[in-house]
Chain A
């Protein structure tokens, strides 16, 4: 996950260590999201406002799911030595991340009007989308990082741990949204 290893060459043993470390990090992050999701139910049960923009919610969910596909394709491409394909798919992923974030910003604009952060629903809505949005943003920065390193030919088949790490993180950010979306938009 750390582009730190960008230039480094990992032994097979170090690669396994890094994988396990990343998985544990993801489990830990999941706990953080679970706390905020739990607070939503503890604080206000399953009630939600009528003013939610359901179409937008569904749209950005679709965009984020699609970005996991392109991220997956990027990883597969570099594993097979297809650098142009890798770069293309990383860029698509970043683009979709950008679309998602724009969608969140639009939703925030509407939210400030209908359910501002001081309301009980707004509290959970803004903190969950904000926390997740920060993860999307950091994921997009990391994706840009592997794009730039990739353009200089730093990765190849068997030497792409940073790509694998960032893509796994990206899938996690996607899965987190799969739990946040129904929590905010569908229940109740």
Chain B
């Protein structure tokens, strides 16, 4: 009860909130003679249910009571495993909560992908109905998008950024806990949507379909808007933390590159996420209030949705990939044992990506019937973004060239990132060019490109970072042999899965469909078999992750002899991280420079926090 109490209370309050905000309110309104569509019942119930859930898991006790002048309650700081199941404000606890939750969702999304590949193994229908395939495809999409947005920022960003800048916590620890505890209701709503018919419009939820399909769409919209709120609050928290919580001497030019990448991604997410919320809210208004934003029969304009939606959703891929750049470069520089090549150029590149990514959105709409004059500018800006991206890539190559490589599992995954992202980046050019995109749009070429950047790019960088920080976070060492096995298995299976998809797309394989011409049978059979291998490779990771945490050998404070601050404290770090604020005296990556230091610890700086 000590451990499960808050979560059970949250579930109870959440259920009460749902019933009050949904069915009860609807019954009252209907009894009074008003109309209350089922869509509205779902939306209002989920919102109030989320509020109840938050109150139950501890937000009421440790925070909201203060709003009403009541004394706050608190839990003991060091309360073992119970800390992970309630509204704890320690950034390290929240980082682990994010990491474990979203790894779970990653496996769920992966299992859905396996279902799709089973269906696509042969032409004709095997396992799923047509509508069932659409629902599985949509759910796979949105779950993986949520994972890609939150796992690096929420998980490793939360855990590592305060440590890396020498802070005792994030700037707003309670907002941080709120950001995390908003995410379980999101997962619940996405899965519960299957109970009310699911939704079949993909993760992009394009109208007019999304304004008229099953009520599951409403739950998806509310879930994504709440997830957006979590993302915005997290972004603001990172910006203030990095701007104002740095240890004495930790100048902007001395920030580890991962911190810079989190800063850049947050700069994007805290603004553009609102456009996702807005576009989905408009769909919701069309459904529940009879409005005519996109509802075709009422004179709405569906293509406006695409403009607003992609104004978030293109920058969103940079919210996903920029922290991955940071994580991969972090691993590469530590394991090449040399300072990061062209550090300042990389920082400039991150900021350049942030700026450029907000003016490229309409390359998703080349075939959507948007005004012709938008084609050429969007082509040009999209191609221009390969310049800062190329700088990041050259920095990785320069570091590798000048360093002496230490090929442990994190470094292997970082090298895989170099390869995968190279293919993902180059194939993006064909999607950015109007002439080729008209042919490639909505084919598996796009699917392959996207998975090379986000799975091959971000998730491989995530794996590099998870292996890299695993000893710090768990206090245990993972099994190096299993790590290498996971690397070779997943790297080869990943490329075997997605490389043929380019070919399939070029030969007319449409994406998001459950069936295809028999001529495409062999490439799909190959892709499916490779995908099952890829899925199986993650079982090695899961085994290593769980078993090493329980039984692995104790990790030292700094098994990689790395120079940045998080490695200068015990593994795992104590509550509040540092006994006194460290004094930062030099650049972050001091390799091959005897006597030069990044920071001096233990010196009581006496600075205020």
Contacts and interface: CB of A to CB of B under 8 A. Distances in A.
B232 interface: yes
Contact of A24 (B239, B292, B307): B239
Given A7-B66, A13-B608, A127 B282 contact: yes
B300 A43 contact: yes
Interface in B66-86: 66-67, 69
A80 interface: no
A117 B64 CA distance: 36
A39 B304 contact: yes
A20 B291 contact: no
A55 interface: no
Interface string A42-81: 1100000000000000000000000000000000000000
Given A3-B67, A11-B609, 9 more contacts: A4-B66, A4-B174, A6-B67, A8-B66, A17-B240, A20-B240, A20-B244, A43-B301, A119-B299
Interface string A24-42: 1101110110011011001
A17 B172 contact: yes
Most buried by B among A12, A39, A120, A122: A39
Q: Which 10 pairs across A and B sit closest by C-beta, in order of nearness?
A: A35-B278, A31-B274, A32-B274, A123-B291, A3-B67, A24-B236, A17-B171, A42-B304, A31-B271, A21-B240
Interface in B521-579: none
Interface in B126-179: 171-172, 174-175
Query: Size band of the B side of the interface?
Result: 35 or more
Interface in B274-292: 274-275, 277-279, 281-282, 285, 289-292
A152 B68 CA distance: 12
Contacts of A31: 271-272, 274-275
For the residues of A in contact with B, the DSSP-based class is: helix
Nearest to A162: B67
Contacts of B203: none
Contact of B285 (A123, A145, A152): A123
A149 B69 contact: yes
A2 interface: yes
A12 B244 CA distance: 12
Contact of B292 (A20, A28, A120): A120
B73 to A, nearest CB: 14
B174, B278, B285, B609, most chain A CB atoms within 10 A: B278
B243 interface: yes
Contacts of A8: 66
Contacts of B311: 35
Interface centre among A4, A29, A42, A148 (most CB of B within 10 A): A4
A183 to B, nearest CB: 15
A113 to B, nearest CB: 15
Interface in B462-494: none
Given A12-B608, A126-B289, A28 B304 contact: no
A39 B311 CA distance: 12
A52 to B, nearest CB: 18
A43 B291 contact: no
A21 B270 CA distance: 11
Contacts of B304: 39, 42-43
**A interface bracket (residues with beta carbon within 8 Å of B):** 35 or more
A141 B261 CA distance: 38
B120 interface: no
B58 to A, nearest CB: 14
B271 A39 contact: no
Nearest to B290: A118
A138 interface: no
B504 interface: no
Contact of A20 (B243, B274, B298, B299): B243
Given A35-B275, A43-B301, A117 B290 contact: yes
Nearest to A145: B67
A32 B278 contact: yes
B34 to A, nearest CB: 14
B63 interface: yes
Query: Which of A35, A126, A154 gathers most chain B CB within 10 Å?
Result: A35
A38 B171 contact: no
A43 B303 CA distance: 10
Interface in B235-261: 236-237, 239-240, 243-245
A148 to B, nearest CB: 8
B445 interface: no
B137 to A, nearest CB: 27
Contacts of B270: 24, 27-28
B608 A118 contact: no
A13 B244 CA distance: 8
Interface string B299-315: 11100100110010000
Contacts of A12: 608
B293 interface: yes
Contacts of A25: 236
Contacts of B291: 117-118, 122-123, 126-127
A35 B67 contact: no
A148 B70 CA distance: 13
Contacts of B239: 20, 24
A149 B293 CA distance: 42
Contacts of B285: 117, 123, 127
B308 A38 contact: yes
Contacts of B608: 11-13
A3 B239 CA distance: 22
B271 A6 contact: no
Contacts of B232: 28
Question: Which of B237, B270, B292, B304 has the most C-beta atoms of chain A within 10 angstroms of its own C-beta?
Answer: B292
A36 B278 contact: yes
Contact of A28 (B274, B293, B299, B300): B274
A25 B175 CA distance: 12
Question: A38, A117, A118, A152: which has the most chain B beta carbons within 10 Å?
Answer: A118
